[in-house]
Amino acid sequence: GITRQELAQLVEVFGGDVSAIDSVVASSASTAAESAAIPAGLARQSAILTHPIFNRYHSETEMLRYITQLQNKDLSLANAMIPLGSCTMKLNATTELIPITWPEFSQIHPFAPREQAQGYAHMIRDLEEDLAAITGMDATTVQPNSGAQGEYAGLRAIRAYQSSQGQSQRNICLVPESAHGTNPASAVMAGLKVVIVKCDPKGNLDLVDLESKAKKHANELSAVMITYPSTFGVFEEGVLEAIEIVHQNGGQVYMDGANMNAQVGLTSPGHMGADVCHLNNHKTLAIPHGGGGPGVGPICVKKHLTPFLPGHPELVNADGTPKSTMGPVSAAPYGSAGVLPVTWSYVKLLGGRGMTQVSKTAILNANYMANRLRDHYSILFTNQKGMCAHEFILDMRPFGKTAGV
């Protein structure tokens, strides 16, 4: 139950009249079902919790065994391979996960007074600087809650920048046919018109088609969305030329960071000339990802796009002025801040050399598997040397004929 003093404190928080508490309590119904605030037609009439499971376990031991039985039905790294995409982290070290259980991180409200969250803010600033260094960019925001939300925030920053340059007519986004499905969806959400760019039979971006469409839409070209390595599991050999083509025709380059597992420490979007990219912390930087979350999709940008990163009423400078005139893309100023200690720990524990080794190992593992399976399956896409990036695609279509599937 709740005491009168506790109720009074709660009323005071919302600026209510404490003197009326006693009369309100006295006139209140003893149960919610009897409350006049709930229309009679909406009040439950049937019994609740009638399933036998709610009346089967009557001791702590029985309940513990039941919960363990449910737990044993879960498929995890403890008993099998995790059936998630190759771009997703398979190992989330306990050392990285422990900090998110600490009350200093897990029990603080996103809108807590800044003087009460200085340590948290320091960690976030530190992480944002590290992510900018990893991607070769100048600034970062961790506000987006997912990769797709990061795509939207990045494209929105591009549009805002172009509008500030008197180029608001730029509304065409070039998207390769090999792109992840969220790319065209995010472009449409950002108010852009999608023009698809072809890929060649080996899965590479068709540079002739890209240049043709970039020149055709030069006056309206806003951006191109490139995933590197591509979703086909190939390092785009013409990526630098593709970036140059778009820049020459007035567009900005958005690099999808879904496959950064094969990039970190070896190259970076900024080094290649991209203007903005997003990271999937739940794919590349250790945050557990399964069953829909939690996700963190930071975006990293070059200097000219920095003023157009997402803002928030809680994000202000020392003099109280807003850090950005852009609206937020998430309800909380730092998005899914509760899991950021995982990524911070991963980056600090591995360091630059460790993360580079992770990328090399991911590429090595994929090519080892591809070579072991090459005699038994058709591998759809490789580079000119027959190598893949950190993933590859097996062609299962022949099974339809050989096995009658």
Q: Is pLDDT of 86 > 60?
A: no
Per the model's pLDDT, the better-predicted residue between 334 and 21 turns out to be: 334
For the chain, what percent of residues have pLDDT higher than 70?
Answer: 95
- Under the banding of pLDDT at 50, 70 and 90, the label for residue 267 is very high
Where does 97-247 show beta strands of DSSP type E? 139-141, 172-176, 193-197, 221-227
Burial of 333 (0-12, 13-18, 19+ CB in 10 A): buried
For the chain, what percent of residues have pLDDT higher than 90?
Answer: 61
Q: Is pLDDT of 363 > 80?
A: yes
H/E stretch holding 392 reads none
Q: How far is CA 165 from CA 169, 172, 300, in A?
A: 11, 16, 21
pLDDT of residue 291: 52
pLDDT of residue 350: 94
Q: What is the pLDDT of residues 135-173, one digit of tens each?
A: 999 999 999 998 899 999 999 999 999 999 999 999 999
Contact 257, 289 (CB under 8 A): no
Mean pLDDT, rounded, for 344-356: 95
CA 109/CA 309 separation, integer angstroms? 23
pLDDT of residue 290: 57
Q: Is pLDDT of 312 > 90?
A: yes
pTM of the model: 0.81
Mean pLDDT, rounded, for 393-398: 88
pLDDT of residue 32: 67
pLDDT of residue 40: 79
pLDDT of residue 83: 57
Q: Is pLDDT of 405 > 80?
A: no
Mean pLDDT, rounded, for 104-133: 93
Q: Which conformational region is residue 214 in: left (phi greater than 0), alpha (psi within -120 to 50 degrees), or beta?
A: alpha
Q: What is the pLDDT of residues 88-117, one digit of tens each?
A: 565 678 899 899 999 989 999 999 988 899
pLDDT of residue 308: 97
Q: Is pLDDT of 87 > 70?
A: no
Contact 301, 309 (CB under 8 A): yes
